[in-house]
Chain A
Amino acid sequence: KAGVTQTPRYLIKTRGQQVTLSCSPISGHRSVSWYQQTPGQGLQFLFEYFSETQRNKGNFPGRFSGRQFSNSRSEMNVSTLELGDSALYLCASSLEYGEGDTEAFFGQGTRLTVV
């Protein structure tokens, strides 16, 4: 069974540009969540999607957005990139939109560097 696939693995972008990251969840999983990992702030929740609807959002500016497609694949977009957006972006998939005990499986992440 294939795991969570994130593409691309590495990205270098210039300040002010925008970027789109992709996540394919485990087959059969319908919930996808995104996390940002930086040395200073650690792992922080960005948002979660289930049935093509955003169900939960972390404390990030509106420059961070996402969507989920009917096949559960998800994309996140960051517009007007800032140097501080440099981070490892992790995607996690879960079977359902659960009640707290749902195990989340993570991808290897996309390493974004903003220069």
Chain B
Amino acid sequence: AQKVTQAQTEISVVEKEDVTLDCVYETRDTTYYLFWYKQPPSGELVFLIRRNSFDEQNEISGRYSWNFQKSTSSFNFTITASQVVDSAVYFCALSERGAETSGARLTFGEGTQLTVNP
């Protein structure tokens, strides 16, 4: 069975600090996909990034970057120069490829509440 763990329940930083959100996953599949979603107080989950298991290249997109390491089953997400508007709950999610699953079946972590103070 697949599992996603976000050990950090809450993180509080001051604006302009960099912050890294940790995510560890478990899966028996060799092909899988990892996601980060953001949930602001309004409730909807906002897609941030996606990575597949074949691509360990880490990238930077604006203030966001991620570090995918298959050897440690981790998919960490970093926000550089945080802003107050980044305050939200962040979820890491995993999707497996297989006959019975689709891209919309996501296993989520518990979420990390990020608060960015001015």
Do A and B bind? Answer: yes
Which residues in A have some Cβ–Cβ distance to B below 8 Å?
Answer: 3-4, 31-33, 35, 42-45, 48, 50, 55-56, 88, 90, 92, 94, 97-109, 111
Chain A interface main SS type = strand
Residue B16 at the chain A interface, CB threshold 8 Å:
no
**In the complex, chain B residues whose CB is within 8 Å of the CB of A55:** 102
Number of interface residues, chain B, beta carbon within 8 A: 29
**In the complex, chain A residues whose CB is within 8 Å of the CB of B37:** 106
Residue B52 at the chain A interface, CB threshold 8 Å:
yes
A56 and B108 form a contact (CB under 8 A): no
12 CB contacts below 8 A, A to B, read A33-B104, A43-B108, A43-B111, A45-B107, A56-B102, A94-B103, A100-B32, A100-B101, A101-B50, A101-B103, A102-B104, A103-B50
Q: Which of B105, B109, B110, B111 contacts A45 (CB 8 A)?
A: B105
Residue B97 at the chain A interface, CB threshold 8 Å:
yes
Residue B71 at the chain A interface, CB threshold 8 Å:
no
The CA-CA distance from A56 to B95 in the complex, in Å, is 13
Looking across the interface, which residue of chain A has its beta carbon closest to that of B51?
A: A101
Please, what's the 1-or-0 string for B14-51, where 1 marks a CB less than 8 Å from any CB in chain A? 00000000000000000111000100001111110010
Which residues in B have some Cβ–Cβ distance to A below 8 Å?
Answer: 31-33, 37, 42-47, 50, 52, 91, 95-98, 100-111
A108 and B42 form a contact (CB under 8 A): yes
Looking across the interface, which residue of chain A has its beta carbon closest to that of B44?
A: A108
Looking across the interface, which residue of chain A has its beta carbon closest to that of B104?
A: A33
Q: Besides A33-B102, A90-B44, A99-B103, 13 other CB < 8 A contacts?
A: A4-B44, A31-B103, A43-B106, A45-B107, A48-B105, A56-B101, A92-B104, A97-B102, A100-B96, A101-B103, A102-B104, A104-B103, A107-B44
Looking across the interface, which residue of chain A has its beta carbon closest to that of B53?
A: A100
**In the complex, chain B residues whose CB is within 8 Å of the CB of A92:** 45, 104
B103 and A109 form a contact (CB under 8 A): no
The CA-CA distance from A102 to B52 in the complex, in Å, is 11
